[in-house]
């Protein structure tokens, strides 16, 4: 059996294979491996957004009776489909960045002490925490962790130490290496509440035993560029925390406008201003697909896809100067794999321009290949690794414009 026949066989056995047909596939020759940055467009979303536009035209402001329920309804759906949360624990609002600010500032209001996070945490998270630390006069400890294995429970316990800590913040799946954090172990090692960033796991694998989280909907939930984020507060933690960004959408009985601020109890209190309705219907369609596929099956397929890519890396790419930038144990990584190479930047440009494979580049030396299990086939993994191998064998990375780009 040829290697490609093996990939075809894996696709034939894949219980999620038919979900690919539910997405818009532009150029069938292009292999899209960046769904962990911007997920594909589900066909149903096109129709749903067109319908929403028609509804706007026909019903105007009267449609708000229906629309006003969307942040909570879609939040509940994400909670059930992707997080293992109960109704009333997830809300859709604002961006991941702003939601992290809201949860972290809510914790700081009630707890003295330091802020703790990994040094190689996603930049927006670090920026939010740095800003809050300086505004609130707190110290921020950015601790070191293994660049491939990611933060361990021991790293978190050591960084907390014996002083007072107000909050710990980290990603469930690291944006560069794909390392999957052990949520239960870290929750018990931390001496303060942990805010999890689920941006690189929501829609692929469910976190276990967490209390507070934020995350993206435009990656594995396929909700489209700039779609708002979700915020999760486990029921038992809700009474002790309050959204610091007081806006009218978080207000109980918001249209009784003369009343002083008196927020909705629970996660609805984390709403701020008017939600983006076209994006909310897109999130609903994306989350429905995740619900239908089932998070356990998605997780199993993500492990199988990344395992296949690691095998092809070892056989074809390691001899060409590549090094695996992700964990080898499939149970300890998310749905993307990082391949490190001294010429990673021109190689990633050559892949896009000359081989029709779309990865992304994360400095200093990682080519990130995202394998969203809803629509990625084993033959895509095979063909992408094959095109990558041929391109580097021919030295085609020397033939592209190496100028830096605003988006990488
Ligand atoms: C993509 C991503 C974000 C994005 O935040 P926005 O506010 O939506 O721009 C945040 N955190 C992590 C870990 C991400 O991967």
| Ligand 1 lined by 127 (C-beta under 6 Å) | no
pLDDT for the residue numbered 397: 95
- DSSP letter assigned to residue 297: H
Distance in Å, CA 368 to ligand 1 centroid: 16
Q: Cα angle vertex 365, ends 302, 143, to 5°? A: 80
pLDDT digits (tens, 9 = 90+) for 109-119: 999 999 999 99
Contact 113, 164 (CB under 8 A): yes
**Which tokens go with 302?**
């993500």
- 109-131 burial: b if 16+ Cβ within 10 Å, else e: eeeebbbbbbebbbebbbebbee
Contact 335, 342 (CB under 8 A): no
| Ligand 1 lined by 96 (C-beta under 6 Å) | yes
Helix (H, G, I), strand (E, B) or coil at 140: strand
pLDDT digits (tens, 9 = 90+) for 324-374: 999 999 999 999 999 999 999 999 999 999 999 999 999 899 999 999 999
* Ligand 1, atom 1: closest residue by C-alpha: 199
- Mean pLDDT for the stretch of residues 42-56: 98
pLDDT for the residue numbered 405: 83
Using pLDDT thresholds of 50, 70 and 90, give the confidence band for residue 197: very high
pLDDT digits (tens, 9 = 90+) for 102-145: 999 999 999 999 999 999 999 999 999 999 999 999 999 999 99
pLDDT for the residue numbered 262: 95
Closest CA to 118 of 79, 152, 75, 163: 152
pLDDT exceeds 90 at position 407: no
* Ligand 1, atom 14: closest residue by C-alpha: 199
| Ligand 1 lined by 200 (C-beta under 6 Å) | yes
pLDDT exceeds 90 at position 46: yes
pLDDT for the residue numbered 189: 98
pLDDT for the residue numbered 408: 82
Helix (H, G, I), strand (E, B) or coil at 31: strand
pLDDT exceeds 90 at position 378: yes
Q: Which residues contact 178 (CB under 8 A, 6 or more apart)?
A: 200, 306, 326, 327, 333, 334, 335, 336, 337, 338
Distance in Å, CA 223 to ligand 1 centroid: 14
| Ligand 1 lined by 95 (C-beta under 6 Å) | yes
Catalytic residues: 122, 197, 218-219, 368
| Ligand 1 lined by 230 (C-beta under 6 Å) | no
Q: Crossing angle for the helix pair 123-136 and 96-110, nearest 10 degrees?
A: 30
Closest CA to 367 of 330, 322, 328: 322
3-state secondary structure 21-61: HHECCCCCCCEECCCCCCCCCEHHHHHHHHHHHHHHHHHHH
pLDDT exceeds 90 at position 1: no
pLDDT digits (tens, 9 = 90+) for 268-304: 999 999 999 999 999 999 999 999 999 999 999 999 9
Asked if the peptide bond before residue 364 counts as cis, ω within 30 degrees of 0, the response is: yes
pLDDT for the residue numbered 391: 97
Nearest atom in ligand 1 to 216's CA: 8
Closest CA to 205 of 368, 376, 372, 379: 372
Ligand 1 mutation target, pool 94, 97, 366, most atoms within 8 A of CB: 97
Q: State how far the Cα of 19 lies from the Cα of 25, in Å rounded to an integer.
A: 12
Q: Which residues contact 295 (CB under 8 A, 6 or more apart)?
A: 81, 82, 84, 204, 205, 206
* Ligand 1, atom 2: closest residue by C-alpha: 199
Q: State how far the Cα of 392 lies from the Cα of 408, in Å rounded to an integer.
A: 19
| Ligand 1 lined by 366 (C-beta under 6 Å) | no
pLDDT digits (tens, 9 = 90+) for 391-403: 999 999 999 988 8
pLDDT digits (tens, 9 = 90+) for 134-189: 999 999 999 999 999 999 999 999 999 999 999 999 999 999 999 999 999 999 99
Task: Tell me phi and psi for residue 222, to 5 degrees.
Answer: 55, 40
- DSSP letter assigned to residue 83: I
Question: Which domains, from first to last, does the chain contain?
Answer: 4-32+294-399 (3.90.1150.10), 46-293 (3.40.640.10)
User: Going edge to edge, which strands form the sheet with 323-324?
Assistant: 323-324, 336-340, 366-370, 360-362
**Which tokens go with 159?**
């960084």
Which residues on neighbouring strands pair with residue 140, listed in sequence order?
115
| Ligand 1 lined by 126 (C-beta under 6 Å) | no
């Amino acid at each position: 059996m040829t290697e490609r026949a093996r990939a075809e066989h894996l696709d034939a056995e894949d219980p999620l294979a038919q979900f690919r047909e539910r997405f818009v596939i532009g150029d069938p020759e292009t292999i899209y491996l960046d769904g962990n940055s911007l997920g594909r467009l589900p066909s149903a979303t096109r129709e749903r957004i067109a319908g929403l536009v028609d509804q706007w035209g026909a019903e105007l402001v009267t449609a708000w009776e229906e629309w006003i329920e969307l942040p909570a309804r879609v939040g509940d759906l994400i909670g059930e489909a992707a997080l293992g949360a109960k109704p009333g624990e997830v809300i859709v609002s604002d961006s991941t960045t702003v939601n992290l600010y809201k949860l972290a500032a809510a914790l700081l209001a009630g707890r003295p002490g330091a802020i703790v996070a990994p040094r190689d945490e996603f930049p927006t998270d670090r920026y939010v925490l740095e800003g809050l630390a300086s505004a609130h006069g707190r110290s921020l400890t950015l601790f070191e962790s293994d660049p491939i294995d990611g933060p361990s429970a021991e790293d978190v316990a050591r960084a907390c130490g014996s002083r007072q800590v107000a909050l710990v913040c980290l990603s469930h799946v690291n944006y560069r290496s794909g390392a999957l954090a052990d949520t239960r172990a870290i929750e018990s090692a931390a001496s303060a509440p942990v805010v999890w960033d689920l941006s690189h796991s929501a829609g692929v694998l469910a976190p276990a035993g967490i209390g507070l989280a934020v995350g993206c909907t435009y990656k594995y939930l396929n909700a489209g560029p700039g779609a708002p984020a979700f915020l999760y507060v486990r029921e038992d933690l809700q009474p002790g925390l309050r959204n610091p960004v007081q806006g009218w959408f978080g207000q109980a009985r918001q249209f009784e406008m003369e009343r002083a601020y008196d927020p909705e109890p629970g996660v609805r209190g984390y709403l701020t201003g008017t939600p983006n309705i076209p994006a909310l219907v897109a999130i609903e369609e994306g989350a429905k697909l995740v619900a239908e596929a089932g998070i356990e099956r998605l997780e199993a397929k993500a492990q199988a896809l990344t395992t296949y890519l690691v095998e092809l890396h070892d056989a074809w790419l390691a001899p060409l100067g590549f090094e695996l930038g992700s964990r080898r144990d499939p149970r300890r990584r998310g749905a993307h794999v990082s391949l490190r190479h001294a010429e990673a930047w021109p190689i990633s440009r050559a892949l896009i321009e000359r081989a029709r494979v779309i990865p992304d580049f994360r400095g200093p030396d990682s080519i990130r290949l995202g394998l969203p299990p809803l629509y990625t086939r084993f033959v895509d993994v095979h063909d992408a690794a094959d095109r990558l191998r041929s391109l580097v064998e021919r030295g085609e990375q020397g033939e592209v414009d190496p100028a830096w780009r605003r988006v990488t």
